[in-house]
Amino acid sequence: MTRSPIIFIDGEAGTTGLGIRRRLSSLPVTLHTIDPKHRKDPIARKEAMIQADLVVLCLPDDASREAEAMVATMGKNAPRLLDASTAFRTDSKWVYGFPELVPTQTQAIATATRVSNPGCYPTGAIGLLRPLIDAKILPTDYPLCINAISGYSGGGRSMIEAHERDGGPAFILYGLTLDHKHIPEICQHAGLTRRPLFVPSVGHFAQGMIISIPLHLDELNGTVTAEDLYTILKNHYNPPTNKEHGARHTTEQEQKMVHVIPPEKTLLDKILSAETLAGSDFMELRVHSNPHHKHVVLTARLDNLGKGASGAALQNIKLMLGFN
């Protein structure tokens, strides 16, 4: 009888680690844990890593780099790594864990020894931009402004405690040095050659996220309509299953993590609530438009703890262990 894969979550007590642990209950895996009082003990951690087939790092950046260096000394006993920090997201030796990025990405993740889990904000921004850049509709040097709002649960313990107290801040605009650590990740994996303006914020709600990107249609390559943008996104994430026009998607495709919302439904979205997908591992993409003014706003809605963190990690774990 084949044994179940062994997973060790290094940093399982944090928000992302707890989310991954909860989701792993749906998989035929063995979760290896260590006594909480030894979670920062390098010897105990190394012993746990040696026993594991896959180690999920839910640590600060520097601690993730130290853990990766520790694994590098293990030789044949080294486990595969999935890292949830920002430490390796632009490292060419690591595979970027966004399965929907390009057609070859799923296989690359499945066979990789080291996978970096995407950031929550970049997931939405890259999800909107990369297909348009690959289709050569959106210039790589377009002067982009990426606006985003997230629930406070992604901001760490001190932010969570501040928001859960009576009188917690209703809205925070931050990153005003215009040098947010997610920008290099967005540039590299979206394919941008010009650094975008990135304006993140946090609202007084626990989970959920919206990324919005305004575009001027007359500044894009060629004569482009909002319907063209929708079609490019739709064909990228939900391609037709056969040559018949209008063929119905298979059940597998309908269960994909990225949903492109049709224009007729988007027209009904006079407002978008960031909390709608809280608790979900899906992401919704929309193209909002005003043809008269040739204006478009692209939006991505997701749960910052779902497709933006633990849900994406589960997706990558399933690929790496051959469960998809």
The predicted-structure confidence for 108-144, as pLDDT tens digits, reads as follows 999 999 999 999 999 999 999 999 999 999 999 999 9
Are residues 205 and 300 part of one domain?
A: yes
Distance in angstroms (rounded) separating the CA atoms of residues 294 and 204: 33
Residue indicated by tokens 């406070």: 152
Does residue 187 form part of some domain?
Answer: yes
- Say how many C-beta atoms besides its own lie within 10 A of residue 5's C-beta: 18
pTM of the complete model: 0.93
Residues 227, 268, single domain; the answer is: yes
Q: Which domain holds residue 159?
A: 120-304
The two tokens of residue 194 are: 């010009």
Amino acid at 129: L
120 catalytically annotated: yes
- Residue 1 is assigned to a structural domain of this protein: no
Provide the token pair at 4: 């179940």
Is residue 74 a part of any domain in this protein?
Answer: yes
Shared domain for 70 and 155, answered yes or no, is no
Residues 150 and 82 in one domain: no
In one-letter notation, the amino acid at residue 186 is I
155 with 236, same domain?
Answer: yes
Specify the amino acid at residue 204: H
**Same structural domain for residues 179 and 296?**
yes
pLDDT in tens, the chain (324 residues): 478 999 999 999 999 999 999 999 989 999 999 988 888 899 999 999 999 999 999 999 999 999 999 999 999 989 999 999 999 999 999 999 999 999 999 999 999 999 999 999 999 999 999 999 999 999 999 999 999 999 999 887 788 888 888 777 899 999 999 999 999 999 999 999 999 999 999 999 999 999 999 999 999 988 999 999 999 999 999 887 654 444 333 334 345 899 999 998 877 888 999 999 999 999 999 999 999 999 999 999 999 999 999 999 999 999 999 996
| Same-domain status, 266 and 171 | yes
Round to whole Å and give the CA distance between 64 and 69. Answer: 9
Which of 58, 120, 145, 187 is flagged as catalytic?
120
Q: Supply the CATH number for residue 270's domain.
A: 3.30.360.10
Q: Do 272 and 291 contact (CB within 8 A), yes or no? A: no
Cα 212 to Cα 210: distance, rounded to the nearest angstrom:
6
CB–CB of 10/67 below 8 Å?
A: yes
Give the total number of structural domains in the chain.
2
